[in-house]
Amino acid sequence: MTGAAGLLLAGAALAQVAVRIQSPSPDQPVFGATQVDVGVSSGEKVERVEVFVNGKLMGTVQKPPYKFSLDVGDDNIRREFRAVAHTTSGIAGTDTIVTVPVQINDEMNLKLRALFASVATFGKSNLALNQEDFQVYDNGVPQQIVTFGRDELPLTAVLLLDTSESMQGERLEAVRRGTRAFLDGMKPSDEAMLALFSDRLLNFIPFTSDKKELDSAIATTQAAGGTAVNDFLYLSLKLLDARQGQRVVVLLSDGSDVHSVLPASDVLWKARAGQSLIYWIQLGGKHKSFTSAWRDFKGNDREFDELEKAVQESGGRILAINRIDELEGAFRNILQELRQQYALGYYPTTAKGDGKWHKVEVRLREGGGRVRTREGYADY
Amino acid sequence: MRARTEGKHFGEPLVWLAAVIWLWAGQTAWAQGPAASTEARGRTGSLGSLGLKAGAEIPPEKIQELYRKILSDWSAGQTDQAPDELIELETAVAVDTDSRTHKILLKEEQAVIHQVGAADIEALVPIAVLHHEAYRRLLERHVRGHALAMVHTRNMAKDLALLYSEQSGSEGAKLVASRLLTSLGGLLLQSAQQLPAAEMFQKGIELDGRNIAALLALSTVYEKNAQAETAVKLLRQALEIEPANAEARLRLALNLKRLDQDAEARKLLAGLMADKEPSWVTPLAYQELARLEGDRKKGAAEAEKVLRQGIERFPDDLRLRIQLAAALDRRGAPGEATALIEKALATSTPREAGASRYLYNAVRADEFALTRTFLDENSKSRLQVLAQALSAPPAETAGTGVAP
């Protein structure tokens, strides 16, 4: 009897916590970076709200607003979102919605393309737009936007820092300060990998949210050796392949590649085929022509140009820094820019997997805003 | 390896003096040392064991006296002290702001050398090596603000070596001079002065056509300046002397590749891969053969095969894994590519791998080590000769060293 009474009480209490998943909408396809908004109404204090996707706990928020920035992956599948609100007395309320996969025909390439776009209106960043405000064109063909996110998207970053001999002393100190500024701006849902390189990998911390671990690796690494940008940029892009959501390589280097086994054309290919952004902080200003036992002047100039091209085509950009005291600001600017991007996902209807270049264009349906995103991708 | 030339006394001091002046005339082109900056960092103007101050007025006879003392210390085996004393003397006398000071230094040192050389020409070897050592220390300490003194001491080392070789005329003297010039070239290369370095190596080869270190170093200068044909010629010469030299074989292969002589390049690289005793060159042979194959139409599978063989032999070589991952990615096997890199980062010690590409482009510490050991041995074996020459009474014909 006691057990039955208990069940009844629990049932009555449950009724006191009303939970509603406000976003995403049910019966809509959802992929990649996704914002989940949960509304909770309760007679007593809510201790925490949890969100599960297909049974897996994806996030916990302890106070309103109950907004979750999640990365649910790029697979075109049905997803069950369940929100559970717990009160201080242990009472829980739940809501569940189900999102559906995109209906596609057999010939369609299943690879979701993610575009990260910055929008500026009258020179100022504009983050007030909605999915309906955007139009995506792939080789001139309008596409259906299936995922949409803005602001506070979980970020996966590779901090690829040149710690070759020429970075000794003040320069390395400035790099440490700049990297700390970037780490300080990271949110708990963000992750970073650290790769300190010269002609070899001097230190490496795999993807983690532990800022202390990342910071300590930077503090203890000594600059030494030559420079192999291509090899380690390729490695970074490759490791980001396996990650989800907004992916970025922040490359800092004071010079050009000398010692890589991979040509810059491999990096360019990777940047075109992949979905990661590359930001290159060029310390020391413009490229100076040089020769080495590996390449002559022309060869080195060509490598430099291709590397710049890879950065631009990835949708990232180059920040040329002439003074080391500008470094910290450069790291902050990159993080700020990443925070102010829209994530637009679509399944290219024009995809054939033939390796050909697809020109991508993102337009605003109305208004005079300026959109910046990657120029295209290689269809692999 | 050690060479000892037969002692040969100067019979004709005027010939000797003329030779010194003639050799010295060539130095103006070199007067652009690495330390042309007048930056104060690393100045040696502070008082050393001789108590001299840069720019201080030192009477000519005092310069000679101090130079003799330094040579005497060197001959007594004070190998730490004597080069520093020489640096102190030369940086005190030769100041960048007044080119005349250099002439004074030269004149007074020549006077001593003339006397010592007239007593026994073999004494020139340790003196040349002393100047070489002083120059090496100046570079190592990144001394700034003493360009004139640096160029002076380097030229003293070079000219003494050439003079010794010319006056002695023996094969052994040529070997010594060749090694000294090669070592000086190495020091110049380390301070990124390729042209003067190349001239040193060239002269070193002229004196001894079997000087492997000079042949390799000169070929590298040509290689770095996109003159693959000349580099190939020098490397073939090196391999005639030392057919198993792995570095020469690799450099030859890469220069042949630049000249589109792929078949011979491929053969050389495959030969290096087959070497049972691996060196820093061996992983490069795998990398470069894979690149050679990968550049060829339909060569991707062969490149992949070479890289897999390389990884089997050098499992910790991260660069080979990166290269294979890129090949797999292109082929459409991205999963395997990722796994390859992730495994390398998780299980191996990549921090040390990959330095071989750096070594190929760098002036390595070991490159001139044998050359310097040879010089040290030849200098040490003549210290007694130097001591005796310093105590010998001045020859009648010996003047002050001033050009007539």
Question: What is the DSSP annotation of B43-96?
Answer: ---S--TT---TT----HHHHHHHHHHHHHHHHTT-TTHHHHHHHHHHHHH--T
Mean pLDDT, chain B, integer: 85
Nearest chain B Cα to A257, which residue? B358
A267 contacts: CB under 8 Å, gap ≥ 6: A230, A233, A234, A237, A306, A307, A310
Query: Residue B135 pLDDT more than 70?
Result: yes
Q: Which residue has the higher pLDDT, A163 or A7?
A: A163
B339 contacts: CB under 8 Å, gap ≥ 6: none
Q: Look at residue A84 in the predicted model and tell me its pLDDT.
A: 95
Classify residue B312 by burial, with Cβ atoms within 10 Å: 0-12, 13-18, 19+: exposed
Contacts B220 to A, Cβ<8 Å:
293
- Token pair listed for A128: 């007030």
Q: Look at residue A378 in the predicted model and tell me its pLDDT.
A: 83
Task: Give CA torsion, residues B68, B74, B76, B80, to 10 deg.
Answer: 140
Question: Residue B91: which of B46, B25, B30, B156 has the closest Cα?
Answer: B46
ipTM above 0.85, yes or no: no
Rg, chain B, Cα only: 25
Q: Do A241 and B334 touch (CB under 8 A)?
A: yes
- Token pair listed for A105: 């025909």
Query: Residue B28 pLDDT more than 50?
Result: no
Query: Residue A323 pLDDT more than 50?
Result: yes
Nearest residue, CB atoms, A225 vs list B223, B337, B358: B358
B347 — pLDDT class (breaks 50, 70, 90): low
Amino acid residing at A57: L
B95 — pLDDT class (breaks 50, 70, 90): confident
Q: Look at residue A110 in the predicted model and tell me its pLDDT.
A: 59
Q: Which of A50-64, B243-257, B305-319 has the highest mean pLDDT?
A: B243-257
* Shortest Cα distance, chain A CAs vs residue B129, angstroms: 30
Contacts A261 to B, Cβ<8 Å:
287, 291, 319, 322-323, 357
Q: Look at residue A109 in the predicted model and tell me its pLDDT.
A: 44
Rounded Cα distance, B188 and B202, in Å = 13
Nearest residue, CB atoms, A199 vs list B338, B342, B358: B358
Instruction: Check residue B358 and give left, alpha or beta (phi > 0: left; psi -120 to 50: alpha).
Output: alpha
A166 — pLDDT class (breaks 50, 70, 90): confident
B352 touches chain A (CB under 8 A): yes
pTM: 0.77
Q: Look at residue A224 in the predicted model and tell me its pLDDT.
A: 86
Q: Look at residue B144 in the predicted model and tell me its pLDDT.
A: 81
* Shortest Cα distance, chain A CAs vs residue B315, angstroms: 15
Rounded Cα distance, B309 and B292, in Å = 15
- A341-357 pLDDT, tens digit per residue, is 998 989 898 888 887 88
Query: Residue B316 pLDDT more than 50?
Result: yes
Query: Residue B175 pLDDT more than 50?
Result: yes
Contacts A243 to B, Cβ<8 Å:
none
B21 — pLDDT class (breaks 50, 70, 90): very low
Sign of CA dihedral B314, B315, B316, B320: positive
The mean pLDDT of B139-147, rounded to a whole number, is 86
Query: Residue A169 pLDDT more than 70?
Result: yes
Nearest residue, CB atoms, B352 vs list A200, A238, A270: A200
The mean pLDDT of B64-73, rounded to a whole number, is 96
Q: Look at residue B181 in the predicted model and tell me its pLDDT.
A: 98
Q: Which residue has the higher pLDDT, B294 or A13?
A: B294
Q: Do A226 and B354 touch (CB under 8 A)?
A: no
Q: Look at residue A151 in the predicted model and tell me its pLDDT.
A: 66
B71 touches chain A (CB under 8 A): no
What secondary structure letter does DSSP report for B295?
H
Nearest chain A Cα to B336, which residue? A238
- Token pair listed for B239: 């391999």
B48 — pLDDT class (breaks 50, 70, 90): confident
Asked if B90 contacts B149 with a C-beta cutoff of 8 angstroms, the reply is yes
A261 touches chain B (CB under 8 A): yes
In percent, how much of chain A has pLDDT > 70?
93
Sign of CA dihedral B396, B397, B399, B401: negative
Stated length of chain B: 404
The mean pLDDT of B290-302, rounded to a whole number, is 93
Q: Name the β-bridge partners of A247.
A: A156
Q: Look at residue B29 in the predicted model and tell me its pLDDT.
A: 28
Nearest chain B Cα to A205, which residue? B345
Task: Give CA torsion, residues B291, B292, B293, B294, to 10 deg.
Answer: 40
Type and span of the H or E element at B109? helix B100-119
Q: Look at residue B85 in the predicted model and tell me its pLDDT.
A: 95
A2 — pLDDT class (breaks 50, 70, 90): very low
Amino acid residing at B329: D
Question: Residue B90: which of B56, B129, B141, B118 has the closest Cα?
Answer: B56
Nearest chain A Cα to B343, which residue? A239
Nearest chain B Cα to A262, which residue? B323
Task: Give CA torsion, residues B159, B161, B166, B171, to 10 deg.
Answer: -160
B361 touches chain A (CB under 8 A): yes
A225 touches chain B (CB under 8 A): yes
Q: Do A270 and B345 touch (CB under 8 A)?
A: no
The mean pLDDT of A255-274, rounded to a whole number, is 92
Type and span of the H or E element at A344? strand A341-346
- First and final C-alpha spacing in chain B: 40
> Out of A172-186, B5-19, B146-160, B277-291, which region has the weakest mean confidence (pLDDT)?
B5-19
Q: Do B226 and A234 touch (CB under 8 A)?
A: no
Q: Do B322 and A231 touch (CB under 8 A)?
A: yes
Query: Residue B194 pLDDT more than 70?
Result: yes
Type and span of the H or E element at A309? helix A297-314
B300 touches chain A (CB under 8 A): no
Other CB atoms within a 10 A radius of the CB of residue B290 amount to: 27
Rounded Cα distance, A221 and A164, in Å = 11
The mean pLDDT of A59-78, rounded to a whole number, is 85
> Out of A90-94, A306-310, B245-249, which region has the weakest mean confidence (pLDDT)?
A90-94
Rounded Cα distance, B232 and B251, in Å = 8
Nearest residue, CB atoms, A199 vs list B226, B341, B355: B355
The mean pLDDT of B12-36, rounded to a whole number, is 39
Place of tokens 């990549």: B350
Rounded Cα distance, A310 and A377, in Å = 11
Query: Residue A13 pLDDT more than 60?
Result: no
Rg, chain A, Cα only: 23
Q: Look at residue B300 in the predicted model and tell me its pLDDT.
A: 93
* Shortest Cα distance, chain B CAs vs residue A156, angstroms: 17
Nearest residue, CB atoms, A239 vs list B332, B341, B358: B341
Other CB atoms within a 10 A radius of the CB of residue B395 amount to: 15
In percent, how much of chain A has pLDDT > 90?
47
User: Phi/psi at B120 (nearest 5 deg)?
Assistant: -160, 115
Contacts A266 to B, Cβ<8 Å:
326, 330
Nearest chain B Cα to A243, which residue? B338
Mean pLDDT, chain A, integer: 86
B195 touches chain A (CB under 8 A): no
Instruction: Give the C-alpha distances (Å, rounded to integers) separating B168 from B243, B389, B391.
Output: 32, 16, 21
Contacts B360 to A, Cβ<8 Å:
293-294
A35 touches chain B (CB under 8 A): no
Query: Residue B37 pLDDT more than 60?
Result: no
Contacts B216 to A, Cβ<8 Å:
none
Best to test chain A binding among B323, B329, B338, B359 (most A CBs inside 10 Å): B329
A355 touches chain B (CB under 8 A): no
B291 touches chain A (CB under 8 A): yes
Rounded Cα distance, B145 and B333, in Å = 58
Angle between helix axes B124-140 and B171-190 (nearest 10 degrees) is 10
B197 — pLDDT class (breaks 50, 70, 90): very high
Nearest chain A Cα to B284, which residue? A261
Asked if A248 contacts A336 with a C-beta cutoff of 8 angstroms, the reply is no
Nearest chain A Cα to B353, which residue? A200
- A216-234 pLDDT, tens digit per residue, is 888 888 888 899 999 999 9
Q: Name the β-bridge partners of A342.
A: A117, A150
Q: Look at residue B80 in the predicted model and tell me its pLDDT.
A: 92
The mean pLDDT of B136-146, rounded to a whole number, is 88
Instruction: Give the C-alpha distances (Å, rounded to integers) separating B384 from A65, A334, B122.
Output: 90, 68, 10
Spatial strand order of the sheet with A134-138 comes to: A141-143, A134-138, A357-364, A376-378
B344 touches chain A (CB under 8 A): no
Rounded Cα distance, A371 and A363, in Å = 7
Q: Look at residue B4 in the predicted model and tell me its pLDDT.
A: 40
Q: Look at residue A114 in the predicted model and tell me its pLDDT.
A: 85
Question: Residue A252: which of A155, A340, A181 has the closest Cα?
Answer: A181
Other CB atoms within a 10 A radius of the CB of residue A155 amount to: 23
Question: Residue A115: which of A367, A369, A358 has the closest Cα?
Answer: A358
Q: Look at residue A50 in the predicted model and tell me its pLDDT.
A: 96
Asked if A27 contacts A72 with a C-beta cutoff of 8 angstroms, the reply is no
Q: Look at residue B17 in the predicted model and tell me its pLDDT.
A: 42
- A105-132 pLDDT, tens digit per residue, is 433 445 788 889 989 887 777 888 889 9
Give the side-chain half-sphere CA count within 13 A for B295.
15
Q: Do B291 and A261 touch (CB under 8 A)?
A: yes
B26 — pLDDT class (breaks 50, 70, 90): very low
Rounded Cα distance, A112 and A116, in Å = 13
- Provide the 3-class DSSP secondary structure of residue A27: coil
Query: Residue B365 pLDDT more than 90?
Result: no
Asked if A135 contacts A373 with a C-beta cutoff of 8 angstroms, the reply is no
Amino acid residing at B116: V
The mean pLDDT of A21-46, rounded to a whole number, is 84
A39 touches chain B (CB under 8 A): no
A204 touches chain B (CB under 8 A): yes
Contacts B223 to A, Cβ<8 Å:
293
- First and final C-alpha spacing in chain A: 65
